[in-house]
């Protein structure tokens, strides 16, 4: 204490994980996007129901985190969900140490980095042969915008939520660019539009509320499931269209930075999970 290097452990020992989670939910979670914040609040509620939540922050060690991971795996919780759990815990401990002044804390999640569950490989569903035509044909009998939506998703690689939130005021028809003001990673981006994408918009009626589409994200998925069932295509999801679109951008000859500018991926590692190139389509590029 005389040398000024003593760090008190009192607050870390007197603060339970449950109390820290409550503070995190009040101070940190509200700064995130609404959809992200809701999922995080749900995750916090799960944490607060665990035995470990009654433990003090100072008492939680790497072995406790490893035991938590094993218990989640025994519950058949997916690898990505467990990694999100760990990300929340890690950020909570870092926030407690840096922003809340509990400087004696160490982050136990850092001690199990090599033990985290591995994410499964990305989905590899592609629209081979005439499957896209079958989807569009089956969509014609649906009482919704799902037909044009399918084409739009393949032409733009936009996420389902981004498509549902589209507004006419964000379209620059002359520049052939659509602004997406709010994205999953909270970074606005401008999407260049192909001739086929513009043709989709030109065929749509204008809504009085300014929205381009009259469907919510969950409605889009449900309508797409009905189309897949009607066309006899099994195991395809609307999000697979984003994979298809991303792969097609590479097949057109765009480089990774150009594709990432369109898709909004922040890292090449994440972008790689969306690329499913077919050898047959690369033959012509080899000469």
Annotated active-site residue 170? The verdict is no
Q: Is 243 a catalytic residue?
A: no
265 as an active site residue: the answer is: yes
Q: Which of 159, 160, 243, 248 is catalytic?
A: 159
Distance CA 223, CA 89 (A): 37
Could you give the 3-state DSSP secondary structure of residue 211?
strand
> Which residue matches tokens 């401008």?
190
> CB burial class (10 A; 0-12, 13-18, 19+) of residue 101?
exposed
- Tell me if residue 239 is catalytic: yes
Answer yes or no: 276 catalytic: no
Contact 114, 126 (CB under 8 A): no
- Is 184 a catalytic site residue? yes
Q: What is the four-CA torsion angle of 84, 87, 93, 95, rounded to 10 degrees?
A: -110
Active-site residue among 72, 242, 243, 248? 242
Smallest CA-to-CA distance from 165 within 142, 188, 147, 144 is with 188
DSSP 247: H
Set 184, 189, 226, 273: catalytic member:
184
Who contacts 191 (Cβ-Cβ below 8 Å, separation ≥6)? Answer: 156, 157, 158, 177, 178, 180, 262
CA atoms of 24 and 88, how far apart (whole Å): 10
Can you read off the two tokens belonging to residue 286?
């080899």
Catalytic positions, written as ranges: 159, 184, 239, 242, 265, 274
């Amino acid at each position: 204490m005389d040398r000024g290097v003593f760090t008190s452990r009192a607050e870390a020992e007197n603060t339970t994980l449950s109390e820290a989670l409550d503070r995190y939910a009040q101070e940190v979670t509200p700064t995130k996007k609404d959809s992200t914040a809701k999922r995080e609040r749900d995750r916090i509620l799960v944490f607060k129901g665990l035995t470990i939540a009654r433990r003090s922050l100072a008492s939680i060690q790497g072995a406790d985190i490893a035991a938590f991971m094993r218990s989640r795996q025994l519950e058949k919780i997916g690898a990505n969900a467990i990694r999100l759990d760990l990300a929340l815990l890690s950020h909570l401990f870092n926030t407690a140490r840096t922003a809340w002044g509990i400087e004696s804390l160490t982050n136990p999640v850092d001690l199990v980095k090599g033990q985290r569950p591995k994410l499964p490989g990305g989905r590899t569903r592609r629209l081979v042969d005439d499957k896209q035509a079958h989807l569009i044909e089956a969509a014609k009998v649906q009482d919704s915008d799902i037909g044009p939506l399918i084409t739009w998703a393949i032409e733009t690689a936009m996420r389902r939520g981004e498509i549902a939130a589209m507004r006419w005021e964000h379209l620059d028809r002359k520049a052939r660019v659509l602004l997406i003001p709010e994205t999953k990673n909270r970074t606005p981006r401008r999407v260049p539009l192909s001739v086929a994408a513009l043709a989709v918009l030109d065929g749509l009626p204008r809504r009085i509320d300014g929205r381009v589409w009259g469907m919510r994200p969950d409605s889009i998925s449900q309508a797409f499931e009905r189309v897949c069932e009607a066309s006899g295509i099994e195991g395809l999801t609307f999000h697979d269209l984003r994979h298809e679109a991303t792969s097609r951008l590479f097949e057109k000859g765009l480089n990774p930075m150009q594709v990432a500018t369109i898709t909004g991926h922040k890292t090449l590692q994440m972008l790689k999970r969306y690329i499913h190139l077919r050898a047959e389509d690369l033959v012509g590029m080899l000469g």
